[in-house]
Amino acid sequence: MSAHQQTAASPFIRACRRQSVPHTPVWFMRQAGRSLPEYLKLREGTAMLESCMRPDMVTEITLQPVRRHKVDAAIYFSDIVVPLKAIGLDLDIKPGVGPVVEQPIRTRADLGRLRALEPDDVKYVTEAIGMLTGELGETPLIGFAGAPFTLASYLVEGGPSRNHERTKALMYGDPELWADLLDRLADITAAFLKVQIEAGASAVQLFDSWVGALSPEDYRRYVMPSSVKVFEAVAGYGVPRIHFGVGTGELLGLMGEAGADVVGVDWRVPLNEAARRVGPHKALQGNLDPAVLFAPTSAVETKTREVLYSATDLPGHIFNLGHGVLPSTDPDALTRLVDFVHRTTEV
Ligand code: CP3
């Protein structure tokens, strides 16, 4: 049986397809790494990008939160810049900072450095996913990639950015170059997702983490075509496609329209309102504020009940945080939260 068939009856995959579930499935963005002592120990002495290229490490780190928290899905341990590194860009992930690009992409000549991604560039991904699906059995593995806009923001800025000013300068100042840049990134992203699905990932999430910096009009004109291209490229596999960004309340409808089966929602928009914005036929994922996990257990439970209540009438709800697990989160708070959601929603 293929990994896709093996996980089809899991609560996570069923919820993505808006089918009935025995309990609301739960996983956490950035559940692997960060807050787990067993992760920090394993990573000691190995640089982030190097660890992403070692199938044994990737497999162990991906499994750690599944064992510890009993989440309903695993997310492949990697980073959004891994495919860019794989095609030869000179970039690194600086601890506590994020991705840093030695020579930013800002001119037409720079585009030449963005060559196509071939499956052989990321053999370690195929190998790690093969190992993982064997270990995970009926628990689905989520593959992921960065969306063209969010990748472009790192490439153009040269690193993390608060206001994305250089990115926007290029987008408004040279729309043709911008469109070509996003189109190339769409091809790389699509190729990277295909590798993960063909190796056995049962769902994929496209992270457009920073696209909430744009208005709906600009999203539609400057970003949506490339995200549509990515989703269309993987539509034929029939695996659920999730789309998420931070601060995207005004973009939720368009992000669904781009081709997502599941729309991720941050904590700023209640799920019933998000459902209204996204329209029918889509599942929703979210949306507890990750900072709530620093409050006492009783407060976490109250806020979690609010999220679940807001999702009462939704046919497909995957419980998640409204963004990634914050690094200093108490791992036990996450374990308790998974158990609380399962117990509260059990039918
Ligand atoms: O558990 C998981 O979710 C899988 C692992 C994962 C990582 N990065 C590992 C990582 C995932 C899904 C990502 C995605 C990612 N990376 C996104 C989209 C998700 C989001 O948070 O919005 C973005 C924007 C990035 C870019 C990135 N990589 C940043 C901003 C940072 C620095 C801040 C941070 O998160 O620590 C990274 C580094 C990174 N990616 C680390 C890990 C475990 C830390 C590595 C280190 O410090 O050595």
At 137-165, the pLDDT tens digits run: 999 999 999 999 999 999 999 999 999 99
pLDDT greater than 90 at residue 36: yes
Measuring CA to CA, how many Å separate 106 from each of 88, 144, 164?
A: 17, 26, 13
Average pLDDT, the chain: 97
Number of structural domains (the chain) is: 1
Token code pair at residue 274: 């998000």
Pick the residue whose CA is nearest to atom 43 on ligand 1: 33
- Nearest alpha carbon to residue 149 among 90, 95, 228: 228
Q: Per-residue confidence at 193, pLDDT binned at 50, 70, 90?
A: very high
- State the first-to-last Cα distance of the chain, in angstroms, to the nearest integer: 29
Token code pair at residue 273: 């309102």
pLDDT greater than 90 at residue 201: yes
Residue 82 lies in domain: 3-345
Output the domain CATH number for residue 78: 3.20.20.210
Q: Per-residue confidence at 1, pLDDT binned at 50, 70, 90?
A: confident
Has 32 been labeled as part of a binding site? yes
203, 13 contact by CB (below 8 A) = yes
pLDDT greater than 90 at residue 239: yes
Atom of ligand 1 nearest to the CA of 205: 12
Q: In sequence order, which ranges of 7-122 are alpha helices (DSSP H)?
A: 11-16, 37-43, 48-52, 55-69, 82-86, 108-111
Maximum Cα–Cα distance across the chain? 58
Token code pair at residue 327: 């690094």
pLDDT for position 35: 85
pLDDT greater than 90 at residue 33: no
pLDDT greater than 90 at residue 176: yes
pLDDT greater than 80 at residue 34: no
Neighbours of 239 (CB within 10 A): 23
Q: At what angle do helices 271-278 and 297-310 cross, to 10 degrees?
A: 30
Atom of ligand 1 nearest to the CA of 324: 21
pLDDT for position 101: 97
pLDDT greater than 80 at residue 93: yes
Instruction: Tell me how far the alpha carbon of residue 309 lies from the centroid of ligand 1, in angstroms.
Output: 30
Q: Per-residue confidence at 102, pLDDT binned at 50, 70, 90?
A: very high
What whole-number percentage of the chain has pLDDT above 90? 97
Instruction: Tell me how far the alpha carbon of residue 79 lies from the centroid of ligand 1, in angstroms.
Output: 6
Q: Give phi and psi for 319, each to the nearest 5.
A: -75, 135
- Nearest alpha carbon to residue 311 among 337, 260, 345, 346: 345
